Amino acid sequence: MKELSTKPYLIRAIYDWCSDSGYTPYLSVKVDDQTRVPDEFVKNGEIILNISDDAAHHLTLGNDVIQFSARFNGVSREISVPVNAVQGIFAKEISQGILFPPEGNANTAVAEAGTEDSPKRQSSSQGSQRSQSGDKRRFQIVK
């Protein structure tokens, strides 16, 4: 029998924690051909999605896919994100959440994002920071 991934369970746990704490849960998603999101909001192959109750309607946090409808510039759009495309989930207000390693790496990293809205990735095997777009946005490993 195939071993179940912990990733969808951790996504749901952080989502619940954000909701219970009054924070706004955001998903960081690596966009690929399996991801259905508005292309005009994708930057550097990534998109940040607000999945709070106010923003995401009919939200389903499944084991394989996350689906909901949301408004972008006043137009309702259907969003579908494979769980393996999720790079992290975090609370916007305090920039705390989980950064997931690239697929194939079994370790997860608890992360703290910079103060700006869009987090950037940091290698969990190195202490140095990587910024893919050259800005100050980043995740920090919290031990």
Quick: pLDDT tens for 99-117. 998 875 444 444 444 434 4
Question: How many domains is the chain built from?
Answer: 1
Domain of 14? 7-141
Contact predicate 122/143, CB 8 Å: no
Specify the higher pLDDT residue, 127 or 37.
37
pTM of structure: 0.72
User: Residue 75 corresponds to which amino acid?
Assistant: V
| 35 within domain boundaries | yes
pLDDT at residue 72, rounded to an integer: 93
Does the residue 90 lie in any domain? yes
In this prediction, residue 104 carries a pLDDT of: 57
CA–CA–CA angle 73, 77, 79 (5° rounding): 125
For residue 2, is it within any domain?
no
CATH number for the domain spanning 33: value is: 2.30.30.220
Assigned domain for 23 exists: yes
Residue 15 belongs to a domain: yes
Q: Over the chain, what is the mean pLDDT?
A: 81
Tell me whether residue 34 is in a domain.
yes
Rounded Cα distance between 93 and 18, Å, is 10
> Is there a domain that residue 133 lies in?
yes
Domain membership of residue 136 (yes or no) is yes
Q: Are 90 and 119 in contact (CB under 8 A)?
A: yes
